[in-house]
């Protein structure tokens, strides 16, 4: 059995409903699964019910969009139960910003000679709208062969149709998660696109502001990346977290694959203990 603390459903940019995802996880031998959809808790009630049916423990989570240059900054947040406030209310605002961003990207695509219908994008997003849904609309319209090509040609950070996220600032996001009783964890740290020295100093600063953990265990980490992040976690007293970042069965990422070595089974308890404890911000 295994633990997977990073997965997505159709409530954001995943390819399967919450109940389907839980069933796939059970079939893959996962016994504890965190649902971490982008900027929403919407899929969790269905997932929790499916978890009871399949004998899976479902951990409440969310992946929050955060402003950062030059790479991508996502903050994972884990909670003892549903109803995290004031975060839940702020996420409603952020989903509105997601739609505004999506419309801006579609407008850019039209000016680039690759128009797609906004209604087509919306129809592909059963939950929060994101760039993957726009990529799929580009594929359907025949402009690119697949989702990766859509990002490479148009949608990647700095690409011709890219529109910066208007998410929270890193310190603001960490404070909001902590205020809501959660444990904030840096997702896929190498997506920050920082040099190793700068990555270390950035994570150190975030730790001082209240970061609880970083993703160390991921199937797409190289052995060198694992060693770098594992060493940082030990040095800074962070919880080494991780997950598959699963989106759909057709992708290379497999549910329960958290790399070598795999994510320790005690990690969920460490996160929940953090939520129940008073961890002052370091100065």
Domain of 227?
2-83+173-276
Whether 254 is in a domain gets the answer yes
> Which residue, among 56, 5, 2, has the nearest Cα to 268 in the 3D structure?
5
Whether 162 is in a domain gets the answer no
Task: Find out whether 13 and 42 touch, Cβ atoms under 8 Å.
Answer: no
Sign of CA dihedral 230, 233, 239, 245: negative
Whether 164 is in a domain gets the answer no
Which H or E run contains 200?
helix 196-208
Which residues in 84-177 belong to E strands, given as ranges? none
Q: Burial of 257 by CB count in 10 Å (0-12 exposed, 13-18 middle, 19+ buried)? A: buried
Tokens of 250: 């057709």
Q: Are residues 61 and 99 in the same domain?
A: no
Contacting residues for 257 by C-beta, under 8 A, at least 6 apart: 4, 219, 244
The pLDDT value given to residue 96: 84
The last residue of a domain, from among 155, 190, 209: 155
The pLDDT value given to residue 234: 97
Instruction: Report the CATH number that the domain containing residue 119 is assigned in CATH.
Output: 1.10.150.650
Q: Are residues 45 and 112 in the same domain?
A: no
The pLDDT value given to residue 273: 96
Tokens of 194: 């920082």
For the chain, 283 residues long, the average pLDDT of each consecutive 10-residue run is 95 93 97 95 97 97 88 91 94 85 94 94 81 93 94 92 85 96 97 92 96 97 97 97 94 93 97 87 64
When divided into structural domains, the chain yields a total of: 2
Q: Are residues 74 and 180 in the same domain?
A: yes
User: Beta strand pairing status for 57-66 and 73-79?
Assistant: antiparallel
Query: How many whole angstroms separate alpha carbon 180 and alpha carbon 87?
Result: 6
Whether 283 is in a domain gets the answer no
The pLDDT value given to residue 155: 94
Query: How many whole angstroms separate alpha carbon 244 and alpha carbon 219?
Result: 6
Contacting residues for 15 by C-beta, under 8 A, at least 6 apart: 247, 248, 249, 250, 251
Whether 166 is in a domain gets the answer no
The single residue listed with the structure tokens 């402003």 is: 67
Q: Are residues 72 and 10 in the same domain?
A: yes
Which H or E run contains 25?
helix 18-27
Contacting residues for 176 by C-beta, under 8 A, at least 6 apart: 86, 87, 90, 168
- With left for phi above 0 and alpha for psi between -120 and 50, is residue 278 left, alpha or beta? beta
Q: Are residues 181 and 266 in the same domain?
A: yes
Q: Are residues 36 and 66 in the same domain?
A: yes
The pLDDT value given to residue 283: 54
The pLDDT value given to residue 252: 84
Q: Are residues 39 and 117 in the same domain?
A: no
Q: Are residues 113 and 230 in the same domain?
A: no
Whether 65 is in a domain gets the answer yes
The model's pTM = 0.85
Instruction: Report the CATH number that the domain containing residue 74 is assigned in CATH.
Output: 3.20.20.140
What is the distance, to the nearest Å, from the Cα of residue 22 to the centroid of all Cα atoms in its chain? 17
> Which residue, among 215, 199, 210, has the nearest Cα to 170 in the 3D structure?
210
Tokens of 89: 């209310």
Which residues in the chain belong to E strands, given as ranges? 2-4, 30-35, 57-66, 73-79, 183-186, 213-217, 239-242
């Amino acid at each position: 059995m295994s633990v997977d603390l990073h997965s997505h459903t159709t409530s954001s940019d995943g390819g399967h409903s919450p109940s389907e995802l839980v069933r796939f996880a059970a079939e893959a031998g996962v016994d504890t699964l965190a649902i971490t959809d982008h900027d929403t808790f919407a899929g969790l009630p269905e997932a929790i019910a499916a978890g009871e049916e399949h004998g899976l423990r479902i951990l409440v989570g969310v992946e929050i969009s955060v402003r950062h240059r030059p790479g991508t900054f996502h903050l994972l947040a884990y909670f003892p139960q549903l109803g995290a406030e004031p975060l839940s209310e702020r996420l409603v605002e952020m989903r509105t910003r997601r739609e505004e961003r999506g419309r801006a990207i579609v407008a850019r695509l039209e000016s680039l000679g690759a128009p797609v219908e906004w209604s087509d994008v919306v129809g592909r997003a059963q939950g929060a709208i994101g760039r993957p849904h726009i990529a799929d609309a580009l594929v359907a319209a025949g402009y690119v062969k697949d989702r990766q090509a859509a990002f490479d040609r148009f949608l990647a950070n700095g690409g011709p149709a890219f529109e910066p996220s208007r998410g929270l600032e890193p310190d603001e996001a960490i404070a909001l998660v902590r205020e809501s009783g959660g444990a904030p964890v840096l997702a896929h740290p190498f997506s920050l696109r920082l040099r190793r020295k700068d990555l270390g100093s950035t994570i150190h600063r975030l730790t001082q502001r209240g970061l609880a953990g970083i993703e160390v265990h991921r199937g797409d980490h190289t052995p060198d990346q694992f060693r770098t992040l594992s060493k940082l976690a030990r040095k800074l007293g962070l919880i080494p977290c991780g997950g598959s970042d699963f989106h759909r069965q057709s992708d290379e990422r497999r549910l329960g694959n958290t790399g070598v070595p795999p994510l320790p089974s005690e990690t969920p308890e460490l996160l929940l203990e953090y939520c129940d404890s008073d961890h002052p911000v370091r100065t």
